[in-house]
Amino acid sequence: MKNCLVVDDSKVIRKVARHILESLDLTVSEAVDGQDALTQCEASAPDVVLLDWNMPVMSGMEFLQALSSAKMTARPKIIFCTTENGIGHIKAAVEAGADEYVMKPFDRETLESKLVIVGVI
Amino acid sequence: MVMPPSPASTLQGAARILSGLLEARTGQVLSEGRAWRMETALRPVLRDHGLTDMDELAAKLLRKGDARLEQEVVDALLNNESSFFRDLQIFDMIHRQILPAIHADKTDRTLRIWSAGCSTGQEAYSLAIRLRNDAARWSGWRIEILATDISTAAIDQARSGIFSQMDVQRGLAVGDLLKWFEPSGEDWRASPELRRMIDFRHDNLFDAKAPTGAYDLLLCRNVLLYFSPERRQAVLSLLARHSHAGSILLLGAGETVIGQGDDFTAHPEFRGGYARQAALPEGAIGRVRRTG
């Protein structure tokens, strides 16, 4: 089974995302901020990261920049999942290397669609 | 005109009258599985006309002919669910196999596509995006995309090119969103270039006025399942009349031409696709001739 790392400082969002992702036959691990996510990625690279933008300690964008120099066997697919829904943020995320972008609020169909597009399911 | 549904219908009272209207206008048979949501689907119509329930609505329709109200009821009862690149493997096959085959075989450098039962237009826009992303290949070609649907509301939305934030996140890659859409308030709007590629028309599938001549690729996905066997055969006959030998027909998952006449047969190359069967005229696509 493929693994998805859910990175969000909201416990509720992590819980909702976990419920959806597990129903799509993914195993799920969680991180509460970018730094936590980076540590987990270096220990064991997930197949895909569902990444919030605004988080304490290290933001989603800072995580994405740090990921490029992290010691990892394989780079995970990155799906931003954020309330930052402006076109400027979307462009910036893609230019920084995000593979996909989910504008909150999201539902099962949206997440499933994005996971298909990045080739994880 | 309000008509009773087919004798096979088990619906009663107002539900029977309203499903009869849907069937008379569109040929769609409202199954028991869809009937339970009639009241929910009709709630906006009831509210707009100050009616309390489906019984009042049916009574009003029976009392006096009201073409606008009838159309509103039909629009509300139609299932307009759609998404961009719905069934991604089908679009991959169109992109990697079907369109290159048409490109290789057609000498008149015209590509004609018909999205029959296009709902709110995502299928047609998905095709337009694929073609525009491959613009170099199609340089110098005349491309026509016709998209038709029985729902005026769906066609109006499709023609506007405006989609909700939720709509553009279902099937549309973020790269295509940035390239082909622009923010429009809370929504997103397809670029003028994309909108110009598609001729959206309100039309039915039994007495179609919009299609002209023959189309190279016909998509009629998730439409036939709502029709009786006789209606399915009538639709396939219509699609056959607007295709040429070698035209490719794509249906929805679970839909088939088997037992519905012999105009189309399983395509020898394109899995899940169907080929128009007839003697090949001069200049027609040669894929079937070479492999069949």
Provide ipTM, 2 decimals: 0.96
| A110/B170 touch (CB, cutoff 8 Å), yes or no | yes
| A94/B178 touch (CB, cutoff 8 Å), yes or no | yes
Give the chain A residue whose CA is nearest to the CA of B169.
A110
Give the chain A residue whose CA is nearest to the CA of B86.
A113
Q: Tally Cβ neighbours within 10 Å of residue B51.
A: 17
| B170/A109 touch (CB, cutoff 8 Å), yes or no | yes
B7 pLDDT band, cuts 50/70/90, is low
| Per-residue pLDDT at B104 exceeds 90 | yes
Could you say which residues from 21 to 40 on chain B have a Cβ atom under 8 Å away from some Cβ of chain A?
none
Mean of the per-residue pLDDT values of chain B: 90
Residue B141's pLDDT is what? 98
Q: Which of A13-22, B32-41, B264-273 has the highest mean pLDDT?
A: A13-22
Cis-peptide into B268, omega within 30 deg: no
* CATH classification at residue A48: 3.40.50.2300
Asked if B148 and B118 count as a contact pair (C-beta separation under 8 A), the reply is yes
| Per-residue pLDDT at B237 exceeds 70 | yes
Residues B158-169: pLDDT tens digits? 999 999 999 999
Q: Using CA atoms, how far apart are residues A3 and B289, in angstroms rounded to an integer? A: 47
Q: Average pLDDT for residues A19-29, to the nearest whole number?
A: 98
Q: Which helix (H) or strand (E) holds A36?
A: helix A34-43
The domain total for chain A is 1
Q: Average pLDDT for residues A43-57, to the nearest whole number?
A: 97
B292 pLDDT band, cuts 50/70/90, is very low
Q: Which domain holds residue A67?
A: 2-118
- The distance of B148 to chain A (nearest Cα, Å) reads 26
| Per-residue pLDDT at B215 exceeds 70 | yes
Q: Using CA atoms, how far apart are residues B163 and B15, in angstroms rounded to an integer? A: 31
Residue B39's pLDDT is what? 87
Residue B80's pLDDT is what? 83
- The distance of B158 to chain A (nearest Cα, Å) reads 20
Residues B66-91: pLDDT tens digits? 899 999 999 999 988 899 999 999 99
| Per-residue pLDDT at B282 exceeds 50 | no
